[in-house]
Amino acid sequence: MDNLISIPLLIFLPMFLSFFVLSPLFTSNETTIRRFVKTFCSIHFLYSILALVLYSPAKSYISQIHFFGLDWIQALGIKFVFEIDSIRLILIILTSFIFFLASLASKRVIRKNHKIYYSMFLLLMSAILGIFSANDMFVFFLFWELELIPAYFLIGGDYGKEYNDNAKKSAIKFVLFTFLGSMFMLLGILLLHFYNYTTTGILSATFNDIFTASLPVGMQLFISIMFLIGFGVKLPIIPLHTWLPDAHTNAPTPISMVLAGVLLKTGAYGIFRFNYEMLPEAFKIIAPILAILALINIIYTAFVAYAQTDIKRIVAYSSISNMGLILLGLCAYNQLGVSASVFHMVAHGLVTCGLFMICGIVYQRFKTRNINELTGIASVMPRLFAFALLIVLASIGVPLFAPFISEILTIMSAFFSELSLVLKFCSVFALPLLILSSCYMLKFLHLSFYGEQKSGLENIDDISTHEFLILISIVVGLILFGIFPNGILGVI
Amino acid sequence: MIHDFYNIFLPQSCLILFILIELVMSFFTNIKKYNLARPISAFGICIAVLLLTSVQTEPQYFGFFNSVMSDNYTLLFHFMILLCGFFVVLLSKNIDQKLKKSGYMFQALLLTAILGGMCVVSANDFITLFVSLEVLSFSTYFLIASTKDYFSKEASFKYLITTAVSTGVFLFGVSYLYGVSGSLDLNEIYEIVINKPHSMLFSFSGILIVLGLIAKLALFPFANWVIDVYKGTETSVLAYLSTIPKLALFGIICRMIVFPLGRTVELTFVLCFIALITALWANTYAIREKNVKAIFACSSAANASYVMLTASLVSVYNLSTVIFYLVSYVIINICAFSFLNIVESNNLGFNLDKFKGLFKTNFGISIAYVISILALAGFPLTSGFVAKIYLFSAIAHSGLIFIPFLLILLILTVVALFYYLKLILPIFENIDEVKNFKCAFSQSFVLYITAIITVLIGLYPEKLIELCRFIAYNI
């Protein structure tokens, strides 16, 4: 049965299909392309669920691609090795699911340039899956860079109504920021690779072959900081976050869903994989500082989010705030912290995905995202209001929803951390500060959905079937993991 | 003597033969109907490539009283020079139509330049090196000026002045080296120097020699010519200018650094410094440029500086990365310039705004162009990514002192990404005006074949890296 799951197929099939879609061989009929991608994404999701069903922790999926019987680059010991362990499996399923939702959400939004859009969509999917499953530092870096090309086109491209001139600027900003971060990361990878080679004599860049115990702590710290800059751009950690609100606001709705839902998680995953696992000594030293940065992330962006008038910007800042919570969980440096972080990645991925979907629906119907101009949506679109209420409640951490459990677990893990008192301090402060999230989320809900209905908006349709499908699956997911958190925690 | 001729000089003599044929043909310019200039030189280069198999490489062969040598290293560089020459010949269709009668002269000059480049790589003493360098540069002056308009003449003159000055510096260094070692033969110099205590004069002469050589690579003290020359030059000549002199010069510089000159720490640091300044200058200059050719000029200077930095940190591992970088870089460059060549033959001009909307109308060629630019910027799935990682790994492996250098280079690649993006982004814009490109078979052939090679090396670099390592470790 294990042979059913092939990791290369999982990762590279979207890439091949993306080139296929882009090529002139494929039809340029809009509906056909969309249905093709939609079907593919749903099959991909089912396939990754199958991988979960067949998975057992004792035996993780490992596969190596040989190029005519050789490693990829032997001079540097780079191998195309992929491994799926429990954390990666969860993230891969999350990726697959959110891409499926995004492919559904593309229906009314994408009006132009379908070929570029859908092929880049699949390429981005492939790159993110590659990031999550690569087991070699250079291959990880390859996918990390590869993701920039589709991300640029998806954020900055002109796909119809939501497009404005700022999109291109924010896409360039995103690419330059991430590229800068990834260059620091490359330096870290090269140094780690070199020192591992000189101390152990193994010419390999595979995660399992890196032994940093004999590295001097100063060097470990330097490498660790290089990695943190790289991942901190993506996560984002506060001074490096300025690309995020622009990119998320100007991207089309499905792409905002993907960016906030999955792309940010690659940064957290990278910190876990590189800093936490491979450079533990340095991470123990950095963790308290990082925890304070995480706390700043939570507080500062919460206040900024409260001040925003654009609903998409509110959601964007709220996701920075939540990423701070994920970072705090990793900083705790214990088993509970890791599982809580991964759980929060999933929970927040679903929540933010839903919130961006709601923003997209609202913008599509009302042609504005300004919170002061929106009022009384609830009376026009009661079904949307129901979903918005549920998702907003989930996002502020109401019991029975998944974020409640993950937030509590994260803060508990930081409190029980044995690293330093700073972590306890941070956890004590983070708990009341979570109330801030209810401030801005409820402001969003209150100002836009409640209130008197504006005149002239009577003819607005409530949510359509595919939008209903997206929102209901998100809500079901949130409630499912809220009642039954062992579904994820058990796997980890 | 005749043995030497058979063993190592057949490809070069084949080129000489075809140069003569072109020159003879240029007398019969009345036969206008069939312009045979390009087919003849393409044929000649093909024959020369075939004759490369006759060259004896193992063990190293020294011929013509030790003035010319051949081994796998020179063989690879000869092959690359001939390959680039072949592509340039294919691309020279535009200029051929412009020149009409003097097309034969152009091809003869091009073949002479290729011959000069090959001789530079295989030179084993400084007299041969000097003569071959002059062959290379003199034909380059005329190639640049071949369109005979104002800008190309200006460009040619600038190139002439810079190269003349640098040649003076080079000769000055050689004279010092002769004073130190009493020989002009690279091997003899190596043997004399290795037994002598380190002398300042020797380092000084080494620095002067390399300084004299790097003018053609557009590195720092002699970098100013590059933008004006690139702006004024025809694209097929540019495809030549950005590949063959680079291959030839880096070929000889790397070998000299590994062999006699590299024993001095001073040279390493001077070259690192030069490379760093060039990288800073070229990358920052390109940000504000609007002319495509000028951006390519900056990019070529920047890439040369990365290679120079790595080459100056003497080790065979570094040498293998340098060879790999050069091979992938020239192919990428040919790809980009063949796109510009197509643009030129459609009289579009080289302002960035003119490229708008190309993606819709010309899917194939714009994809190939995007691949080349992404490869220059070092994105994955192209050879540029592998070359970048491999080259930078060499710097990282050279020691802690060079980490700041590496960090600066890495940050500069982000700056470089900015202007590379500027080169490709207009292509994807939507405009109403639809312009369909006409491109000749030879042009699109070069464009697609180089793009395919770029992607193939990016996907499967192992064989080429193995080859580069084999060559570098056996030098």
What ipTM was estimated for this complex? 0.91
- Residues forming beta bridges with residue A134, ordered by sequence position: A82
Q: Kindly indicate the confidence band of residue B8, based on its pLDDT and cuts at 50, 70 and 90.
A: confident
Chain A hits for B389, Cβ within 8 Å: 76, 138, 141, 186, 190
Identify the residue among B381, B395, B470 best suited for mutation to test binding to A, counting A beta carbons within 10 A and taking the highest.
B381
Q: Kindly indicate the confidence band of residue B66, based on its pLDDT and cuts at 50, 70 and 90.
A: confident
Question: What's the pLDDT at B239?
Answer: 92
Among residues 9-28 of chain A, which lie with CB inside 8 Å of chain B?
Answer: 24
Helices and strands counted in chain B (H then E): 22, 2
The whole-angstrom distance between B427's CA and the closest CA on chain A is 12
Q: What average pLDDT does this structure show over B190-215?
A: 84
Least trusted range by pLDDT, from A280-294, A476-490, B249-263, B426-440: B426-440
Q: Could you tell me if A350 lies within 8 Å of chain B, comparing CB atoms?
A: no
Question: What's the pLDDT at A369?
Answer: 85
- Rounded to an integer, what distance in angstroms lies between the CA atom of residue B148 and that of residue B156? 10
- Rounded to an integer, what distance in angstroms lies between the CA atom of residue A354 and that of residue A346? 12
**Nearest Cβ partner of B430 from A24, A72, A158?**
A158
**Nearest Cβ partner of B410 from A24, A149, A186?**
A186
Rg (CA), chain B: 21
Give the nearest chain A residue to B378 (CA atoms): A145
Question: What's the pLDDT at A374?
Answer: 81
Q: B379, A158: Cβ pair inside 8 Å?
A: no
pLDDT in tens, A72-128: 888 888 888 888 888 888 899 999 999 999 999 888 888 888 888 999 999 999 999
Q: A149, B393: Cβ pair inside 8 Å?
A: no
Q: Kindly indicate the confidence band of residue B63, based on its pLDDT and cuts at 50, 70 and 90.
A: confident
Give the nearest chain A residue to B431 (CA atoms): A158
Q: A187, B406: Cβ pair inside 8 Å?
A: yes
Question: What's the pLDDT at B32?
Answer: 61
pLDDT in tens, B75-92: 999 999 999 999 999 998
Question: What's the pLDDT at A180?
Answer: 92
Chain A hits for B411, Cβ within 8 Å: 180, 183
Give the nearest chain A residue to B407 (CA atoms): A187
Task: List the Cα angle A26/A28/A29 in 5-degree steps.
Answer: 120
- Residues forming beta bridges with residue B296, ordered by sequence position: none
- Residues forming beta bridges with residue A59, ordered by sequence position: A56
Question: What's the pLDDT at B136?
Answer: 93
Q: A191, B466: Cβ pair inside 8 Å?
A: no
- Rounded to an integer, what distance in angstroms lies between the CA atom of residue A395 and that of residue A388? 10
For B421, list phi and psi in degrees, rounded to 5.
Answer: -60, -40
The whole-angstrom distance between B390's CA and the closest CA on chain A is 8
Q: Kindly indicate the confidence band of residue B263, based on its pLDDT and cuts at 50, 70 and 90.
A: low
Per-residue pLDDT tens listing for chain A (492 residues): 566 777 888 889 999 999 999 888 888 888 899 999 999 999 999 998 888 888 877 666 777 776 666 678 888 888 888 888 888 888 999 999 999 999 998 888 888 888 889 999 999 999 999 999 888 899 999 999 999 999 998 988 888 766 777 888 899 999 999 999 999 999 999 999 888 888 888 888 888 888 887 888 888 999 999 999 999 999 888 888 889 998 988 888 899 999 998 999 999 999 999 998 888 889 999 999 999 999 998 889 889 999 988 888 999 999 998 899 999 999 988 888 888 999 999 999 999 999 999 998 888 888 888 888 888 888 888 888 899 999 999 988 888 888 888 888 888 898 888 887 888 888 888 887 778 888 888 888 888 888 777 766 667 777 888 888 899 999 999 998 888 888 777 777
Q: Could you tell me if A71 lies within 8 Å of chain B, comparing CB atoms?
A: yes
Q: Provide the percentage of residues in chain B whose pLDDT is more than 70.
A: 97
For A23, list phi and psi in degrees, rounded to 5.
Answer: -70, 155
Q: What average pLDDT does this structure show over B287-297?
A: 88
Question: What's the pLDDT at A489?
Answer: 77
Question: What's the pLDDT at B34?
Answer: 60
Average pLDDT of every residue of chain B: 87
Give the nearest chain A residue to B458 (CA atoms): A72
Give the nearest chain A residue to B461 (CA atoms): A73
Report DSSP state, residue B198: P
Contact criterion met (CB below 8 Å) for B394 and B317: yes
Q: B407, A187: Cβ pair inside 8 Å?
A: yes
Q: B379, A143: Cβ pair inside 8 Å?
A: no
Q: Kindly indicate the confidence band of residue B299, based on its pLDDT and cuts at 50, 70 and 90.
A: very high
What's the token pair of residue B82? 């001939």
Identify the residue among B319, B320, B393, B403 best suited for mutation to test binding to A, counting A beta carbons within 10 A and taking the highest.
B393
Say if residue B33's pLDDT is above 60: no
Q: What average pLDDT does this structure show over B21-34?
A: 75
**Nearest Cβ partner of A191 from B378, B396, B430?**
B396
Question: What's the pLDDT at A85?
Answer: 84
Question: What's the pLDDT at A488?
Answer: 74
Q: A148, B379: Cβ pair inside 8 Å?
A: yes
The whole-angstrom distance between A198's CA and the closest CA on chain B is 10
The whole-angstrom distance between B394's CA and the closest CA on chain A is 9
Least trusted range by pLDDT, from A17-31, A168-182, B116-130, B193-207: B193-207
Q: Which residue has the higher pLDDT, B316 or A411?
A: A411
* Contact residues, chain B to chain A, C-beta under 8 Å: 320, 363, 374, 378-381, 385-386, 389-390, 392-393, 396-397, 403, 406-407, 410-411, 413-414, 417-418, 421, 425, 428, 430, 459-462, 465-466, 469
Q: B461, A72: Cβ pair inside 8 Å?
A: yes
3-state per-residue secondary structure call for B349-372: CCEHHHHCCHHHHCHHHHHHHHHH
Chain A hits for B373, Cβ within 8 Å: none
Identify the residue among A183, A198, A222, A227 best suited for mutation to test binding to B, counting B beta carbons within 10 A and taking the highest.
A183
- Label residue B69 left, alpha or beta by phi (over 0 means left) and psi (-120 to 50 means alpha): beta
Least trusted range by pLDDT, from A97-106, A156-165, B109-118, B443-452: A156-165
Q: A146, B379: Cβ pair inside 8 Å?
A: yes
What's the token pair of residue A87? 């954390």
The whole-angstrom distance between A117's CA and the closest CA on chain B is 12
Q: What 3-state class would DSSP assign to B124?
A: coil
Report DSSP state, residue A63: E
Contact criterion met (CB below 8 Å) for A478 and A351: yes
- Rounded to an integer, what distance in angstroms lies between the CA atom of residue B44 and that of residue B50? 10
**Nearest Cβ partner of A142 from B374, B380, B465?**
B380
- Label residue B349 left, alpha or beta by phi (over 0 means left) and psi (-120 to 50 means alpha): left
Question: What's the pLDDT at B79?
Answer: 94
- Rounded to an integer, what distance in angstroms lies between the CA atom of residue A154 and that of residue B154? 44
Chain B hits for A191, Cβ within 8 Å: 396, 403
| Angle of the A148-156 helix axis to the A243-250 helix axis, nearest 10 | 60
- Rounded to an integer, what distance in angstroms lies between the CA atom of residue A122 and that of residue A481? 28
Closest residue by Cα to residue B87 from B196, B216, B217, B239: B239
